Amino acid sequence: MGRTRRARRMNGELALLHPDAHCELDFRTPLELTVATILSAQTTDRLVNSVTPTLFAKYPTAADYAAADPAEMEGLLKPTGFFRAKSKSVIGLGQALVERYGGEVPGKLADLVTLPGIGRKTANVVLGNAFGVPGISVDTHFQRLVRRWAWTVESNPVKIEHAVGPLIPRKEWTILSHRVIFHGRRVCHARKPACGACALATWCPSYGDGPLDFDVAAKLVKGPDAAARARAAALGLPVRSAEEMVALARDDSA
């Protein structure tokens, strides 16, 4: 099977396996998503979401970030790690937005990547989830999985983005990123992928890198309805709805 055809088959299976795939950072505006994505570097989305309600309430506009006291900002961001660098980035972001874009987050990649703390990955997250502009966000999960699946041999994030793009219809780039990230967090782990409980086994050239025994692999699956997802994979069935999740989970525990 050709690479493009195989990638599209796998994307279709990911859509069934992770129908709840979405951006896990909490936000209401492009500015909030931009700040949250900057803060997500080297930490978890859950931890960022624990910090941002207070942050967003205190700094609702770009001008508020621009005028923020660095020491106070560092105190708020300390739980996220690398708080001094992140504080410098979000304050610099606010200043740049006020000076160059009227306090608004721009909706173009070329503009976003000129802002403090924003590279292509962050820009694509913002474009895809705040502006509806398709983009591939190459984080560590995405990079690991597409190489493991032999969608590309590239290791540079920008080259990975350009290699994967032609394999999948452009309109699906943003949701593809979420599906792959969900799969990386829940099933295809870095050190021990749950191969024996993975619905992508048929198309995965790295099948066997992790345990093949279902009972062993199923214990590695994480996230909501983990037992149901593992059971569906073992039966060769897609999980299409919350109701099916519940039914499969009950069957698995019976």
Query: What is the predicted pLDDT for the residue at 254?
Result: 46
Query: What is the predicted pLDDT for the residue at 248?
Result: 45
pLDDT cut 90: percent of the chain above it: 82
Which comes out higher in pLDDT, residue 254 or 211?
A: 211
| Contacts (Cβ under 8 Å, ≥6 apart) of 54 | 76
- What is 129-151 written as a DSSP string? HHS--------HHHHHHHHHTTS
Name all domains of the chain by residue range, CATH numbers in brackets: 30-130 (1.10.340.30), 195-253 (no CATH)
Query: What is the predicted pLDDT for the residue at 144?
Result: 97
Residue 36, pLDDT above cutoff 60: yes
Q: For residues 25 and 36, is the Cβ–Cβ distance under 8 A?
A: yes
Query: What is the predicted pLDDT for the residue at 131?
Result: 97
Query: What is the predicted pLDDT for the residue at 242?
Result: 39
Which comes out higher in pLDDT, residue 75 or 234?
A: 75
Q: Mean pLDDT throughout 183-198?
A: 94
Residue 173, pLDDT above cutoff 80: yes
Judge residue 216's burial from the number of C-beta atoms within 10 Å of its C-beta, 0-12 exposed, 13-18 middle, 19 or more buried.
Answer: middle
Say how far apart CA 57 and CA 81 lie, in whole Å.
Answer: 21
Residue 195, pLDDT above cutoff 70: yes
- Convert the pLDDT of each residue in 138-169 to its tens digit: 999 999 999 999 999 999 999 999 999 999 99
Say how far apart CA 51 and CA 106 lie, in whole Å.
Answer: 24
Q: How many CB atoms lie within 10 A of CB 77?
A: 24
Q: Which pLDDT band, with edges at 50, 70 and 90, does 240 fall under? A: very low
- What is 43-60 written as a DSSP string? S-HHHHHHHHHHHHHH--
Say how far apart CA 107 and CA 128 lie, in whole Å.
Answer: 10
Out of 102-111, 199-208, 240-249, pick the least confident. 240-249
Q: Mean pLDDT throughout 73-88?
A: 96
Query: What is the predicted pLDDT for the residue at 235?
Result: 60
Nearest to 220 by CA among 173, 188, 175: 188
Query: What is the predicted pLDDT for the residue at 194?
Result: 94
pLDDT, mean over the chain? 91
Q: Mean pLDDT throughout 225-248?
A: 55
Out of 45-59, 90-104, 234-248, pick the least confident. 234-248
Say how far apart CA 207 and CA 93 lie, in whole Å.
Answer: 43
Query: What is the predicted pLDDT for the residue at 243?
Result: 44
Helix or strand holding residue 64 (H, E): helix 62-66
What are phi and psi for residue 244, nearest 5 degrees? -65, -35
Query: What is the predicted pLDDT for the residue at 246?
Result: 41
Active-site residues, by number, are 121, 139
| Contacts (Cβ under 8 Å, ≥6 apart) of 209 | 148, 193, 195
- Convert the pLDDT of each residue in 227-237 to its tens digit: 666 666 666 65
Residue 106, pLDDT above cutoff 80: yes
Query: What is the predicted pLDDT for the residue at 223?
Result: 75
